[in-house]
Amino acid sequence: MYWCELATPVGTLLLAGSAAALTRVHFQSGPRPLHPHKEWRHDAVPFAPVIEQLKEYFAGDRREFELPLAPAGTPFQLLVWQALRAIPYGETRSYAQLAQHIGQGGARAVGLANGANPLPIIVPCHRVIGADGSLTGFGGGLRTKRFLLALEGAACVADLCSASAMPPAGAGAHH
């Protein structure tokens, strides 16, 4: 397993995966930074396409990621994460809409699977909001979710209106 860190407008991201596929994106600026396992090898080379595509995304030049992904999860989680990738750039869905789309589980089950997404931003779990239009929990924090939705030009939702362009607290604007 390889890993590296990348400075982004939403803070430092830890990238992890094999030489063939990305398995994890983790918000290092959050309350629980991920410490790479001793056997993991620090090397940015396997992540060159990931880094390039993330830079393009944050620059507003990329709407979809074209990367080999290998998230580990239950069959239901994998189904939810696949459905997340179908939510168009700049659009949002509620947990209930996502559950209806996949035809399994309810909003709560979809919310739990969404929260377990190991590939945030790449697999756009930030595009899922509450049925009332409110922003709900997000591994990178609500400020980061707000920032990502504003970056994508998502329609105003209840919590998004006032501070849509604010970068996350403590996050630099460098790539």
Q: Which residue carries 């931003």 as its tokens?
A: 121
125 is catalytic: yes
- The one catalytic residue in 4, 125, 156, 161 is 125
Torsion of CA 165, 11, 13, 145, to 10 degrees: -30
Angle separating helix axes 75-85 and 107-115, nearest 10 degrees: 90
Q: Which residues contact 47 (CB under 8 A, 6 or more apart)?
A: 2, 4, 6, 15, 17, 22
Report residue 42 as tokens: 């620090």
- Say how many C-beta atoms besides its own lie within 10 A of residue 136's C-beta: 17
Phi, psi angle pair for 149, to nearest 5°: -65, -40
- Non-local (6+) Cβ contacts of 72 within 8 A are 23, 118
Catalytically active residues are 125
